[in-house]
Amino acid sequence: MDNNKRPEDMKRINTQQLANAFINEQVELIRKQVGDKKVLLALSGGVDSSVVAALLIKAIGKQLVCVHVNHGLMRKGESEQVIEVFGKELDANLIYIDATDRFLNLLKGVDAPEQKRKIIGGEFIKVFDEEAGKLEGISFLAQGTIYPDILESDGVKAHHNVGGLPEDMQFELVEPVKLLYKDEVRVVGEALGLPHAMVYRQPFPGPGLGVRCLGAITRDRLNALREADAILREEFDKNGLSGKVWQYFIAVPDMKSVGVKDGKRYEGWPAIIRAVNTTDAMSATIEEIPYELLRRITARITAEVDGINRVLYDLTPKPIGTIEWE
């Protein structure tokens, strides 16, 4: 039987009961596969890696070593949530690396999107490898591969998670959710007791805010973007839009315009709101946001975020505009 093929008689996991049965089955399989050996996981804080981490902690506890690399391009509060949930509540064996300076120094002055992505992806693997190299007796590598990844890549998911591990690091893979669809992973995550906000976290690109801080990244503009994005997410949560809109975020371009604050002219960046709905990410429609709410978001961002003096709303569907700006 092909282990990467979902059995035809496999029920769609959409209830807590089915999720619990899946969890019990996986806990047994993981224990059988791993024995008393150690497993390494790159824990991004995204849905898939978080659910895999919680599943493995349930199965093998401290034999799992989670490495969370904060590249300085996370959304507000995300790394803190990983430390809170996994380090404190689940008492995981968690290694936290704040590599903000390392990443931002490498990205200084780089404005080509493809080059930014390469630097962020390449450095992430380097940091992860360095940490992995310090650890003793790791035999397995856990990954948050899910079924659509297998379908899309025909079983090869090298680019998605860690994918650049040196040839001499031979790990056997542990991929407990590889036959699940995203909605099923979420049901399993809730059954494992992970916070709702983590389980229903929006898709977030690997380079994080690096592809939303358009052009060459500077710390001041990155901070403005992070704060403006947090306000947008907070307002969407409060007004019941977070469940209705598939993805929403702020992008801040590298350009300034003149504005007025406290009776003086001052130059600031624009914050661009992007809010889209999609079923497959191949095409996307624009969500209509109540004007009242847009006004409130604008008022809050321009008042609370240093350096931003305009708020724009991107009305472009996909095609013609991609979901991300870069």
pLDDT at 240 over 80: yes
The pLDDT of residue 165 is 52
Residue 73, phi then psi, degrees to nearest 5: -120, 20
Whether the bond into 319 is cis, omega within 30 of 0: yes
User: Residue 107: enclosing H or E segment and its boundaries?
Assistant: helix 100-107
Rounded to 10 degrees, the C-alpha dihedral 83/85/87/92 comes to: -140
**DSSP β-ladder status, 138-142 and 172-174:** parallel
The stretch 136-151 carries a mean pLDDT of: 90
8 A C-beta contact, residue 276 and residue 245: yes
- Tokens at 289, concatenated: 């946001």
Q: What percent of the chain has pLDDT over 90?
A: 80
Rounded to 10 degrees, the C-alpha dihedral 38/42/48/54 comes to: 40
State how far the alpha carbon of 322 is from the alpha carbons of 193, 315, 316, in Å.
Answer: 35, 12, 9
Tokens 């064996």 map to which residue? Answer: 93
- Cβ atoms < 10 Å from Cβ of 193: 12
pLDDT at 121 over 60: yes
User: What is d(CA 56, CA 59) in angstroms, rounded to the nearest whole number?
Assistant: 5
- Tokens at 211, concatenated: 């592809």
The stretch 117-146 carries a mean pLDDT of: 92
- Tokens at 138, concatenated: 């790791």
Q: Whole-prediction pTM value? A: 0.88
Computed over every residue of the chain, the mean pLDDT equals 91
Query: Which residues does 202 contact at the CB level (< 8 Å), separation at least 6?
Result: 246, 247, 248, 249
Domains of the chain and any CATH numbers: 16-199 (3.40.50.620), 212-313 (3.30.300.10)
Measure CA of the first residue to CA of the last residue in the chain; give whole Å: 41
Tens of pLDDT, residue by residue over 2-61, are: 678 899 999 999 999 999 999 999 999 999 999 999 999 999 999 999 999 999 999 999
Tens of pLDDT, residue by residue over 283-312, are: 899 989 999 999 999 999 999 999 999 999
Contacts by 278-283, CB closer than 8 A, 24 or more apart: 278/246, 278/247, 278/318, 278/323, 281/203, 281/323, 282/318, 283/317, 283/318, 283/319
Paired residues of 172 in beta bridges: 140
The pLDDT of residue 159 is 40
How does residue 155 score in pLDDT terms, banded at 50, 70 and 90?
Answer: very low
The pLDDT of residue 152 is 78
- Tokens at 114, concatenated: 């493809």
Tens of pLDDT, residue by residue over 248-257, are: 999 999 999 9
Residues in the chain, how many? 326
The pLDDT of residue 167 is 54
Paired residues of 67 in beta bridges: 42, 95
The pLDDT of residue 280 is 75
pLDDT at 163 over 80: no
Could you tell me which of 205, 129, 217, 202 has the C-alpha nearest to residue 165? 129
User: Residue 65: enclosing H or E segment and its boundaries?
Assistant: strand 64-70
**DSSP β-ladder status, 264-277 and 285-286:** antiparallel
